[in-house]
Each structure stands twice: as structure tokens, then as C-alpha cells.
Amino acid sequence: MKKQGRFILMLLAFMMSMTAFAQQKTFSGTIVDVQGEPIIGATIAQKGTTNGAISDIDGNFTISVEPGATLVVSYIGYTTQEISARDNMRIVLSEDATTLDDVVVVGYGVQKKSVVTASIAKVSSEDLAGKAPVRVDNALKGLAAGVTVTSASGAPGAGSQIRVRGIGTINNSDPLYIVDGMPCETGIDNLNPNDIESIEVLKDAASGAIYGARAA
């Protein structure tokens, strides 16, 4: 009798697990921005659980959840969305204007400025527009903390000398600039201020380490 009772309990447990498994379904989708470009590394998580996935280089992802489950889609600098799981999802994320200015490029991705421990001075397009500079290098005066900008010579059109942490910088070399997410090694004096979304000046070894000799 005891053996029969155990068998019934095991059978019920097996049937319950099979029912729960049968409710799971694999859904696929693509995450893009408002321009239709794929977003790499976006997080897709089932709300209230640890079940989740990450979008690949093409913005594609797959996740196994119950039909109709709530999915939370998030990416740094973009507005978080909640959607119901369905077939062939196409999720369009828009930039979050309230947090975009707090995002910095760190070479291997982007991070919120509040969690970055390296020393990075960031100047946004709004900062540039407010100063209306003729040259980008002059725009850094007073906008980037810890950055010293001096005229290289008195000649018309001459570039500026930019140093971090004072004019006694080791090797007397210019810092590495990240302009709109791309490292710029040739200087920024010839760039049009109106074409720039953001400039980041890497001011220490931690922020420039990922770029190797270019940031030395």
C-alpha cells in the first residue's frame, strides 16, 4: 500500500513538471533603435524571474517563457519597455533623454557615469551649443574639468595645446579623445563643433587602458 502511494505521488509530481514544461515556448525577436539599427547587448528578462537573454550582434534573441509572459527589455541610455511574449517580436527602443547624458563610452561598451570609477571628462553637444565655439579645442576651456587648454602659438589658425592634470603631463603628450564613441588620435581642432554629439577626454590610466598605446 505504501509503495502504491509513493508511486502515485511520483506520478503526480512527474505530470506536474511535464505540464509546466509544456507551457514553456521559445520566442524570438529583434531589438533595434529608432533608426532601425540593431542594438547589441540589450537585456531581455522575464519579469519577476531570473530567466533572461541578451541580444546578439544583429539585435536578435531567443527566450523560453510561457505565452503572454511579461518581458522587460532594457539597455543603457534607452527607455526600458515591458511587452508580452509573442512570435517574431520587433522591439524598437528609443533614447532616454534623462539618462543619455550620464552615459560614457569605456572602450568595450557603455556605462552609466555614476558607476564609472575612471577619470573621464565629458562634453555634450548641448555644452558646445551653449558656448558656440569656433574651434572644438577652445570649447574644452571651462567645460572639461581637469583639462588645461593653452594656445600653441600666436599664429592665426594655430591649434591649442591640451593637457590633463596641469601642463606638466608626463611625456608632454595630448590625451586620447573619444568623439561620438570613436577614438580620435589626430587631434580635434579641425572638427566641426556642430557635427559632434559628445567628446570624452580620458584623463587617467584606468580610462585609457583598453585603448593600449594610443592612450599612453
52 beta partners: 45
Quote the pLDDT of residue 65: 92
The CATH architecture one would assign to domain 2-93 is Sandwich (2.60)
Residues in contact with 188: Cβ distance below 8 Å, sequence separation at least 6, in sequence order? 136, 137, 177, 179, 199
DSSP 35-88: TSPBPTT-EEEETTSS-EEE--TTSEEEEEE-TT-EEEEE-TTB--EEEE--TT
Q: pLDDT tens, 57-86?
A: 899 999 999 988 999 999 887 889 999 998
What is the Cα–Cα distance from 80 to 41, expressed in whole angstroms?
14
- The pLDDT-based confidence of 200 (bands split at 50, 70, 90) is confident
pTM summary value:
0.43
Count of C-beta atoms within a 10 Å radius of residue 166: 8
Quote the pLDDT of residue 215: 47
Residue ranges per domain, the chain? 2-93, 101-215
**101-215 CATH pick, 1.10.3720.10, 3.40.50.300, 2.170.130.10, 3.30.980.10:** 2.170.130.10
- The pLDDT-based confidence of 195 (bands split at 50, 70, 90) is confident
Q: How many CA atoms lie within 13 A of 128 on its CB side?
A: 20
**How many residues appear in the chain?**
216
